């Protein structure tokens, strides 16, 4: 599959201009063409720069509203909308598209043997875009053009054609009147009506997020605001800790069941509300196995959490061997009342690894319970760990590919953190750790993402245990550097999640 920007289907061009479409197509983009239907009259006395910026913004807003009303699925995918408006300005007089032959000839006589300006206003907006990630752009670009001489007879003939009537100033530099341009200064594409050199950097910045179907972006687009998962300690344990199936828990887990950041609802809201004062909250039962209890106890705990008016949904971390038909049936009913998804701790599809890490269930059971949850309409996020003892990169990639085929709601790729109080802290041979540094790890992640279908939400791409308990790899606490390097490599090589799938 050839990788081009046309793979990204979330760019809307608020114009049917063949010139603008051609510029984007030649740059490798395939925009959704959706012209704006607006009143383009410019109030008397408006400056050209102000006029084109206002009209471009008006076009963008009109198309966004059209998408909202007529194409809700596109709207929920948070597209980038690009709009532009171009005018010719001569001695501070705005020349738009001529209404008739008389106005066409009048404009071109004005420009004959004179200098004028071509001004394009641009608006770039991301529907439901995060303000701190990409701010809407509204700007104008000016180019200077000087015409030579042409006859009145030529103007009479030219004005009888269709060419001048959809163009500001009644001409196009790439058309018939190109022969009369003595010189120009500035961006040629701007004179055509689309200053691509100014536009594309903003588009690339806006499209970063479309390279990965990040759960934060997904929820922002779906809910219209930031959604935060509050890591809650539900007071559970695991069947491979209490002797039901084994002791000691999974070998990678700390004493807290990988819940170092978990606490209670009030503490979590107090911690996070200053950074995101307008966020929506989902309770995340994170550590241990949060369906490992009698059904009545589960109901009481879940419903108590959801009774808090601040909580708008529930995320449950669990194991497939702790999901009886009875529990799944209850979760299916709960799913009708609130936002809900389960995080299933698979870690690997390789049973020899699963046995080594004391997982205490076979991969076949995961598939059986996953299918049962899918039949019940319950969203699932599958958790995999990268770097488990004895696993090669090929084995890790096989786990990712086999999960990707299922097309779950989401996937978590968690870099193995060797932490204090875990079994691995005592017996993991550090010299065999498969990723020597951030560069090697991010290379692997970028490759792995290419096998994950674009509709699968990505919930995690690394691991960041607290420094005070982290033994290895020490570079894993550089979470921002890791994520930035993943984005950089995907942008550099024009890679998009799922682009190797047929």
Assess whether 51 and 152 both reside in one domain: yes
**End position of a domain, from candidates 161, 180, 208:** 208
Q: How many residues does the chain have?
A: 502
Q: Which CA distances in Å does 418 have to 192, 218, 323, 436, 463?
A: 58, 31, 28, 14, 10
- Whether the CA torsion 406, 410, 415, 416 is positive or negative: it is negative
pLDDT by position in tens, the chain (length 502): 333 444 455 789 999 999 999 999 888 788 899 999 998 888 888 899 999 999 999 999 999 999 989 988 777 666 789 999 999 999 989 998 999 999 999 999 999 999 999 999 999 998 764 444 456 889 999 999 999 999 999 999 999 999 999 899 999 999 999 999 999 999 999 999 999 999 988 887 776 656 888 898 788 777 777 898 999 999 999 999 999 999 999 999 988 766 566 678 888 888 787 777 788 999 999 999 999 999 999 999 999 999 999 999 999 999 999 999 999 999 999 999 999 999 999 999 999 999 999 999 999 999 999 999 999 999 999 999 999 999 999 999 999 999 999 999 999 999 999 999 999 999 999 999 999 999 999 999 999 999 999 899 999 999 989 999 999 999 999 998 999 899 889 878 878 899 898 6
Assess whether 220 and 195 both reside in one domain: no
**Residue among 310, 370, 369, 302 nearest 337 (CA):** 302
Assess whether 188 and 259 both reside in one domain: no
Helix intervals (H) in 128-214: 152-158, 188-192, 196-207
- The position carrying tokens 């792995």 is 448
Q: How far apart are CA 272 and CA 226, in angstroms?
A: 12
Assess whether 16 and 73 both reside in one domain: yes
Assess whether 428 and 342 both reside in one domain: yes
Note the pLDDT of residue 226. Answer: 84
Q: How far apart are CA 191 and CA 199, in angstroms?
A: 14
Question: Does 501 map to a domain?
Answer: no
Cis peptide before 326 (omega within 30 of 0): no
**End position of a domain, from candidates 158, 193, 208:** 208
Assess whether 113 and 225 both reside in one domain: no
Q: Is 85 a catalytic residue?
A: yes
Assess whether 261 and 112 both reside in one domain: no
Question: Does 499 map to a domain?
Answer: no
The two three-digit tokens of residue 130, written as one number: 């995060």
CB 248 within 8 A of CB 241: yes
Query: DSSP string of 21-48?
Result: HHHHHHTT--PEE----------TT--H
When divided into structural domains, the chain yields a total of 2
Domain hosting residue 116, numbered range: 5-208
Question: Does 283 map to a domain?
Answer: yes
Question: Does 310 map to a domain?
Answer: yes
CATH number of the domain to which 333 belongs? 3.20.20.70
Assess whether 191 and 261 both reside in one domain: no
* pTM for the whole structure: 0.69
Largest CA distance in the chain: 98
- The position carrying tokens 């063949």 is 18
Q: Which CA distances in Å does 144 have to 122, 169, 184?
A: 18, 13, 5
Note the pLDDT of residue 307. Answer: 94
Assess whether 87 and 57 both reside in one domain: yes
**CA-angle at 372, arms to 501 and 239, nearest 5°:** 105
CATH number of the domain to which 18 belongs? 3.90.950.10
CB burial of 132-152 (b: ≥16 within 10 Å; e: otherwise) equals: eebeebbbbbbbebebeebee
Question: Does 498 map to a domain?
Answer: no
Question: Does 248 map to a domain?
Answer: yes
The two three-digit tokens of residue 346, written as one number: 């698979």
Assess whether 158 and 290 both reside in one domain: no
Q: How far apart are CA 341 and CA 263, in angstroms?
A: 20
The two three-digit tokens of residue 131, written as one number: 């303000």
Assess whether 459 and 372 both reside in one domain: yes
**End position of a domain, from candidates 187, 208, 229:** 208
Question: Does 111 map to a domain?
Answer: yes
Assess whether 221 and 109 both reside in one domain: no
Note the pLDDT of residue 3. Answer: 33
**Residue among 349, 385, 389, 381 nearest 366 (CA):** 349
Instruction: Exactly one of 22, 37, 39, 85 is catalytic; name it.
Output: 85
Q: Which CA distances in Å does 392 have to 97, 119, 326, 350, 397?
A: 64, 58, 38, 11, 9
Note the pLDDT of residue 209. Answer: 59
SS3 151: coil
Question: Does 300 map to a domain?
Answer: yes
Note the pLDDT of residue 468. Answer: 93
The two three-digit tokens of residue 366, written as one number: 């995961």
């Amino acid at each position: 599959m050839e990788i081009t920007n046309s793979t990204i289907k979330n760019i809307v061009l608020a114009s049917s201009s063949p010139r603008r479409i051609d510029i984007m197509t030649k740059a490798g983009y395939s925009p959704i063409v959706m012209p704006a239907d607006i009143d383009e009259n410019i109030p008397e006395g408006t400056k050209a720069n102000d006029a084109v910026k206002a009209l471009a913004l008006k076009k963008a807003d009109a198309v966004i509203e059209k998408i909202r009303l007529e194409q809700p699925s596109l709207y929920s995918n948070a597209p980038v909308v690009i709009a532009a408006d171009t005018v010719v300005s001569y001695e501070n007089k705005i020349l738009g598209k001529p209404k008739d032959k008389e106005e066409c000839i009048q404009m071109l006589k004005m420009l004959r043997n004179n200098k004028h300006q071509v001004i394009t206003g641009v608006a770039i907006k991301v529907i439901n875009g995060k303000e701190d990630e990409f701010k809407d752009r509204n700007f104008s670009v000016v180019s200077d053009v000087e015409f030579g001489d042409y006859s009145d007879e030529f103007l009479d003939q030219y004005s009888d054609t269709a060419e001048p009537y959809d163009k500001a100033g009644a001409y196009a530099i790439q058309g018939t009147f190109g022969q009369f341009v003595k010189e120009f200064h500035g961006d040629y594409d701007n004179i055509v009506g689309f200053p691509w050199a100014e536009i594309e950097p903003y588009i690339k910045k806006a499209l970063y997020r479309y390279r990965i179907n990040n759960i934060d972006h997904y929820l922002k687009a779906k809910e219209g605001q930031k959604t935060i998962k509050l890591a809650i300690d539900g007071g559970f344990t695991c069947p491979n800790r209490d002797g039901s199936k084994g002791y000691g828990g999974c070998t990678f887990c700390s004493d807290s069941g990988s819940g170092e950041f978990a606490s209670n609802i009030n503490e979590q809201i107090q911690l996070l509300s200053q950074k995101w004062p307008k966020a929506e909250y989902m309770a995340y039962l994170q550590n241990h196995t949060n369906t490992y209890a009698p059904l009545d106890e589960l109901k009481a705990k879940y419903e108590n959490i959801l009774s808090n008016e601040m909580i708008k949904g529930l995320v449950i971390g669990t194991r497939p061997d702790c999901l009886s038909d009875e529990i799944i049936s209850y979760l299916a009913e709960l799913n009708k009342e609130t936002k809900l998804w389960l995080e299933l701790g698979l870690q690997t599809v390789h049973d020899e690894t699963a046995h080594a890490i004391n997982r205490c269930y076979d991969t076949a059971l995961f598939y059986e319970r996953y299918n049962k949850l899918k039949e019940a309409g319950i969203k699932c996020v599958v958790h995999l760990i990268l770097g488990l003892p004895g696993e090669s990169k090929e084995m890790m990639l096989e786990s990712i590919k086999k999960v990707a085929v299922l097309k779950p709601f989401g996937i978590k790729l968690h870099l193995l953190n060797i932490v204090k109080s875990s079994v691995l802290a005592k017996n993991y041979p550090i010299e065999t750790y498969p990723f020597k540094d951030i560069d090697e790890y991010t290379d692997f992640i970028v490759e792995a993402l290419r096998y994950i279908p674009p509709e699968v939400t990505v919930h995690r791409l690394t691991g960041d245990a607290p420094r005070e308990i982290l033994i290895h790899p020490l570079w894993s606490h550089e979470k921002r550097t890791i994520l930035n390097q993943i984005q950089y490599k995907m942008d550099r090589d024009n890679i998009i999640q799922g682009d190797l799938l047929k």
